[in-house]
Amino acid sequence: MAISDVQQALREFAAQRDWEQFHTPKNLVMALAAEVGELVDIFQWLTPDESMTVLSEAGRAEHVRDEIADVFGYLLRLCDVLGVDRESAIFDKIIKNAVKYPPESSKGSAAKYTDLL
């Protein structure tokens, strides 16, 4: 299924429930932040190794998948409501980041671009 099909399904889901009135950019961003917080809650006290195997436990795996779906769904709705072209936005950002983080100075480093030599 293409992302555009998912976005259309979310649009129809909201329309069938007359929820477009609540899907303002402000509300969608707030809902997105709340769902990211729920995802953070799952990972907050895990060690790095535990975070890499978070899907190995069935119950936790379902919880992670549900929260990722909520985050992605709200982000898609936000793009839809604002008319943001998802693909061009992400590719434009990749280009900007390529300028900020050239391989010769950023490879293997987690430093912010302002701190790179």
- In tens digits, the chain (117 residues) has pLDDT values of 899 999 999 999 999 999 999 999 999 999 999 999 999 999 999 999 999 999 999 999 999 999 999 999 999 999 999 999 999 999 999 999 999 999 999 999 999 998 987
| Angle between the N-to-C axes of helices 58-82 and 3-16, in degrees from 0 to 180, rounded to the nearest 10 | 80
Domains of the chain: 3-84 (1.10.287.1080), 86-117 (no CATH)
Residue type, 21: Q
Report which secondary-structure segment, H or E, holds 33: helix 25-43
Q: Please give the Cα distance from 41 to 35 (Å, whole number).
A: 10
Compute the distance between CA of residue 58 and CA of residue 56 in angstroms, rounded to an integer: 6
72: Cβ–Cβ under 8 A, 6 or more apart, which residues? none
